[in-house]
Structure 1
């Protein structure tokens, strides 16, 4: 999962900081380095192959949780620190950060259907704006058909791309946002 050269920066605990956050991050580092088991009190006995596989699966799940925790700021970690599984942690983060509201949905749909290319932006910056809107709507469970995405973009092309739009429309069996963007990139190069 990580190379031996992976380095984690964790301030030394000096007694004045939040110990629970430091402890959580330290445990995450130990799990990631596969040396956390030294902190667990367990009788060393023969383990069956089934137990060994279960331990391997548990280690992988701890490593996934570790990777997530190491990429959270302290204020976010405080909100999710009680989640002990990777799946629980991920679900809690989604619940906290992907709340769907009607006003947000309407705003994003308006942004998508009313999209206008910004003349001061490069072609790539405009593509990025469209992709951001599509991704945000997709994350909310609102999927706009691929062909509709392409048509929205094509209808808002500056005049310099109008001929290219006609070529794209009549030279393809299927029309997607990716096809339109690729064609426009090749023309713009």
Structure 2
């Protein structure tokens, strides 16, 4: 790695002061991988230029500023040329040792390593049109290889159109991605490269380490988990296409629970919740030796609010921001950082990718499974939901301490929804309550909306 160090502080190249002393930045460390003549010159050139910008030496790539004397201009050029040569391998450095003007050195490098000939363009165009997925590599590596060809062409003043890039990338994917191509192109006259990239990352984020959906021997639980993630992705893709076509600005949270063979898998997008109410025996206060049965809450999801550290980091990395407007909001608008839809905020880090809680075995103490919208929890704490279910059970059978003895009916969901409404919640109020047997299998679910 080549390292450049800069010093203290920076004068403005745009200044018109005749007494200005031009000083490079120091105390910062820049690392550029040395160019050996065979690696990607376009990327190396970009990194070296960024280094010169950080060192306040980029102006030497042009003509001398009017307010700079010759001695100072010569000093800055010597420093810039030296910094550039430090980023070359020794074998490539020999041809450029005599240059002391940055602009001439830069042109010489481009002439040698970036010949803008029709032969080079033809070679890269052939590589682009014949570009195909190589079995066994990750999707991230596949995309990097594709973008390298695009960048090399751009460095030769050969820009590939946005829609051409999108179609060529889709054409390079293996057959297992045909469903993605169909979804993206259905009913569309044009396709955006950015949308293809976004959907590829979403599709692969929960796939195997190789970055592509795997095949072969998989357990039923693995197949179901993949199917769930794919379904959420397809729902978001379909809705997003409709939203673009019809200029919808709406979106939705999603919380899904799969219950199979006494195990549950939970996936959540947004701030709806899934929770379990567990039967526990606790000592009664002030009564030695006595005990009581209660329902304790176990939250299965974490709210995707923009002020959560990991969520904020993703939003800010995408160019968005979090602003307090009653509650923290993405760009001062959306109160959740993940959602289905909300297409106009996707580029600012709002994601439809669910957070998944892996398969969990139910136990004899797991008595109720509750899935409810965020409006419920606007006025009720999760523990209060379990308390309401316990109270309902006691009313059904005052003599029994078993919270699982009450029958499944919509009255359980009614109780939660009505209580949240009476306590002042005016957001969407939806709840599903599933009483669980000691065997871990559910009875008929109860649901209620308001």
Contact 2:77–2:100 under 8 Å retained in 1: no
Number of residue pairs aligned between Structure 1 and Structure 2: 147
2:95 corresponds to: 79
2:166 corresponds to: 150
Q: Deviations over 1:160-183 (max 9, x none)?
A: 222222333358886343331221
2:139 corresponds to: 123
Measure the CA separation in 2 of the matches of 1:134 and 1:148.
11
Instruction: Give structure 1 stretches of 5+ with no counterpart.
Output: 8-31, 33-49
1:175 corresponds to: 191
Task: State which structure, 1 or 2, has the greater radius of gyration over its C-alpha atoms.
Answer: 2
Does 1:4 pair with 2:27?
Answer: yes
TM-score by length of 2: 0.29
Say which of 79, 94, 109 aligns to 1:93: 109
Measure the CA separation in 2 of the matches of 1:109 and 1:117.
17
Q: Offset at 1:91?
A: 0.5
TM-score by length of 1: 0.64
Q: Offset at 1:157?
A: 1.9
The structure with the largest helix share of the pair is 1
2:175 corresponds to: 159
Q: Which has the higher contact order (CA 8 A, sep 6+)?
A: 1
- Give the secondary structure class of the aligned counterpart of 2:115: coil
Contact 2:81–2:99 under 8 Å retained in 1: no
Q: Offset at 1:148?
A: 0.2
> Mean alpha-carbon deviation: is it higher for 88-97 or for 66-75?
66-75
Q: Offset at 1:59?
A: 4.7
Measure the CA separation in 1 of the matches of 2:193 and 2:152.
16
- What's the RMSD between the two structures over aligned residues? 3.0
